[in-house]
Amino acid sequence: MDYIGLDSGSTTTKGVLFADGQLQAKYLVPTAGNPRGAIETVLTHLKADAGDTDYRLITTGYGRKLVEADLVITEITCHGKGAEYLHPGVQYVIDIGGQDCKTISLNGQGNVLDFNMNDRCAAGTGRFVEVMMGTLGEQIQVLDNFVADATPVKINSMCTVFAESEVISLISKGEAREDIALGTLEAIAKRISGQYAKLRPKHGETVLFTGGLSQSQAFSKVLSEHVGAPVDTNPLSQFAGAIGAAQIGMKKLN
Amino acid sequence: MELRTELPEVFADFSEARKQGFLAVKDLKEKGQPVVGVYCTFMPEELVLAGGAVQISLCSTSDETIGDAEEDLPRNLCPLIKASYGFAKMDKCPYFYFSDLVVGETTCDGKTKMYEYMQEFKPTYLMQLPHTRDLEGGKQFWRSEMIRFKEKLENFFGVEITEDKIREAIQLKNRERQAKQDFYRLGQLNPPALSGSEIFQVMYGSQYKFDKAEVIDMLETTTAKVKAEYAAGKRLDSKPRILVTGSPIGGATEKVIRAIEENGGVVVAYENCTVAKAVERLVDENEPDVYQALTDKYMNIGCACISNNNPRKELLSTMIDDYQVDGVVDMVLQNCTPFSVESLQIKRFLNEEKHIPYMYLETDYSTADIEQINTRVTAFLEMLEA
């Protein structure tokens, strides 16, 4: 039996295939306003990888109810199990997605003990960074190189719309664009560290950082400074939700 | 309205119930019955009853008039205050319309200041609620407010409120509280006899029945019927058992109850105003000083607007044990400062002393956040089942 974990997120749709308990394949496509289409694209690829083997589908994320699945689990629970797979024994997770930010505490076996979600406001999400980079005329993909030697400028507004106005006025004041970019990372990390503190975490305990923004080493570093703890990432961090979904399926549907 | 006893149709149709409640109050007015409108469970209904008036709860739980309210009040104000004011200002609440006197209370700052505007267009009386339980002076002051309110009722309606009448009203209200308790404590049954929605519908709907003896009778009949069906083997599936606490709940915010029950949980208990918070503790019928008896009762409603709020923790603690609760959802209205600030204390108390999972859920009267609520609540239920 194969297990497909599918995470339908606001910005990207992720899918993984587990065969014989091993991660066999993974796909990521932009959701691009068409979650159903993105899910189908990912499923087509993964089904091809599964070949003739029978499979179970477990869905999570915002679009989790868009397709018929064997099991539907929220992204909180899936990120907990996914984090455990990527970093066994980890107790804290920060997931920064396209339109929300989750902070989760775990029992050391991937089970959720407490969580907080910011899902009402773009501030503190990947979108915030994306919008600010756009305002600076840069692609989010070059973020790390762009801020490599920067000194952060203080950004005061946390609302994405107001922060954009603030960035524009900083540009017109002649502040270096890379300094402004690093300033926005500082601002978002500060906000997220507040949300993280609500978990009342053990000081200095390692945090696993997942979601799209975790690809940025520069941001991981800023985040680590703000939460006062080592921040770990993983090449598969973006797949944490999908991996968790498959892991739960392997346990519950077996 | 007719309190239907056929289960599970008891109070199934809230909009119909409300309409029938409106007709009932119209009837009362036509018979010359004085009516006092209130917004809060701190109001000593015993005094109103002793004065020969009927006390009714005024509209405050839908977003229908929030836009109108925001013409006068700040947007970032608790939706309950905006709705209360909006319904009153737009004259869209028949209960408000039929109230001879509206009695407000200085529970939170937003309400206190809102009443200053309400009194511009309606006879509005304010009971000054002290914000401390720690000082004897606070209790003495609340007792003096009981007497001032009694005198206001006497003057306003031209009646005499004797201590005997108050004593009689205390007994009647205690009987009503007892009948309500006997009903909502059906939530203690495990596996459950009723869904949380059913329990809430009955409790919420019982406010719209104005003949106390009839309410008591209907509640007792309903309770007996549920018990009989339970004894005959009719019960619901076992699911994670949730206690709901926090700001007042009802109307628009019943979306939280639905989210819990549509995603695999069952609400077995409500610590909120409409259910246990103001009903759980009876008035001491043996206290010779009736005003003191009322003071003691109404000082100990576990509302976040008073400091300390130990009565809330004490009631939560008992209820968690009695109802075999698996997890607590703290529903807090957006911009409800007392309950949002208090939430950390409740979380600490529940996690550290009761060792029970807790979730903070902030919402308003809109439907915009239903999917987010579903996701959070489902994640919480998944956490309880892991």
What domains sit in chain A, N to C, each tagged with a CATH number?
Answer: 1-87+236-254 (3.30.420.40), 89-233 (3.30.420.40)
Strand partners, B359: B329
Query: Touching check for B386 and chain A: CB below 8 Å?
Result: yes
How far B77 CA lies from chain A's nearest CA (Å)?
A: 18
Query: Touching check for B376 and chain A: CB below 8 Å?
Result: yes
User: Is residue B247 domain-resident?
Assistant: no
What residues contact A76, with CB distance under 8 A and at least 6 apart?
A102, A104, A112, A115, A117, B375, B376, B379, B382, B383
pLDDT value at residue B2: 45
Chain-chain contact of A76 with B386 (C-beta, under 8 angstroms): no
Q: How many CB atoms lie within 10 A of CB B320?
A: 21
- At B224-247, the pLDDT tens digits run 999 999 999 999 999 999 999 999
User: Is residue B257 domain-resident?
Assistant: no
Selected residues 339-368 of chain B with any CB under 8 Å from a CB in chain A? 357
Q: How many CB atoms lie within 10 A of CB B307?
A: 12
Report d(CA B122, CA B91) in Å as an integer.
11
Cα angle, residue B155 at apex, residues B169 and B153 outer, rounded to 5°: 30
Q: What is the mean pLDDT of residues B95-123?
A: 97
Average pLDDT for chain A: 93
What residues contact B233, with CB distance under 8 A and at least 6 apart?
none
Q: Which of B361, B378, B384, B385 to mutate to test the interface with A (most CBs of A within 10 A)?
A: B378
How far B382 CA lies from chain A's nearest CA (Å)?
A: 7
- Cis amide prior to A118 (ω within 30 degrees): no
% of residues, chain B, pLDDT over 90: 88
Query: Touching check for B122 and chain A: CB below 8 Å?
Result: no
Indicate the residue of A75, A112, A120 with minimum beta-carbon distance to B386: A112
DSSP annotation of B307:
B
- Which domain covers residue B44, as residue numbers? 14-161
% of residues, chain B, pLDDT over 70: 95
How far A76 CA lies from chain B's nearest CA (Å)?
A: 6
ipTM of this predicted structure? 0.91
User: Is residue B348 domain-resident?
Assistant: no
Tokens of B351: 């996690």
Please tell me the total count of domains within chain B. 1
- Inform me whether the pLDDT recorded for B15 exceeds 50: no
Report d(CA B355, CA A219) in Å as an integer.
36
Q: In this predicted structure, which of A29-33, A74-78, B159-163 has the lowest mean pLDDT?
A: A29-33
What residues contact B374, with CB distance under 8 A and at least 6 apart?
B259, B262, B263
- At B248-280, the pLDDT tens digits run 999 999 999 999 999 999 999 999 998 999 999
How far B366 CA lies from chain A's nearest CA (Å)?
A: 13
User: Is residue B44 domain-resident?
Assistant: yes
User: Is residue B55 domain-resident?
Assistant: yes
- At A165-207, the pLDDT tens digits run 899 999 999 999 999 999 999 999 998 999 999 999 999 999 9
Report d(CA B323, CA A48) in Å as an integer.
51
- At A21-70, the pLDDT tens digits run 999 999 999 998 999 999 999 999 999 999 999 999 999 999 999 999 99
pLDDT value at residue A235: 95
User: Residue B3: which pLDDT band, with cuts at 50, 70 and 90?
Assistant: very low
pLDDT value at residue B12: 55
- Kind of pairing, strands A101-106 and A112-118? antiparallel
Residues of B in contact with A77 (CB under 8 A): 379, 382-383, 386
User: Residue A85: which pLDDT band, with cuts at 50, 70 and 90?
Assistant: very high
Q: What is the mean pLDDT of residues B356-373?
A: 95
Closest residue in B to A105 (Cα–Cα): B383
Q: What is the mean pLDDT of residues B134-146?
A: 96
pLDDT value at residue A28: 97
- At B51-62, the pLDDT tens digits run 999 999 999 999
Q: Which residue is it, tokens 């409108």?
A: B37
First to last CA, chain A: 9
User: Is residue B149 domain-resident?
Assistant: yes
% of residues, chain A, pLDDT over 70: 99
User: Residue B17: which pLDDT band, with cuts at 50, 70 and 90?
Assistant: low
Closest residue in B to A106 (Cα–Cα): B383
pLDDT value at residue B7: 58
User: Residue B209: which pLDDT band, with cuts at 50, 70 and 90?
Assistant: confident
Q: Which of A178, A133, A112 is closest to B384 using CA atoms?
A: A112
Report d(CA A71, CA A87) in Å as an integer.
24
Q: Which of B242, B246, B245 is closest to B263 using CA atoms?
A: B242
Report d(CA A74, CA A62) in Å as an integer.
8
- Inform me whether the pLDDT recorded for B185 exceeds 80: yes
User: Is residue B187 domain-resident?
Assistant: no
Given a contact cutoff of 8 angstroms between Cβ atoms, the answer to whether B181 and B279 are in contact is yes
- At B73-85, the pLDDT tens digits run 999 999 999 999 9
Residues of A in contact with B369 (CB under 8 A): 120
Cα angle, residue B113 at apex, residues B346 and B252 outer, rounded to 5°: 55
User: Is residue B154 domain-resident?
Assistant: yes
- Kind of pairing, strands B327-333 and B358-363? parallel
Q: How many CB atoms lie within 10 A of CB B101?
A: 19
Indicate which CATH number applies to the domain containing B48: 3.40.50.11890
Report d(CA B69, CA B82) in Å as an integer.
5
Torsion sign over Cα B292, B134, B41, B346: negative
Q: What is the mean pLDDT of residues A15-21?
A: 96
What residues contact B338, with CB distance under 8 A and at least 6 apart?
B108, B303, B304, B305
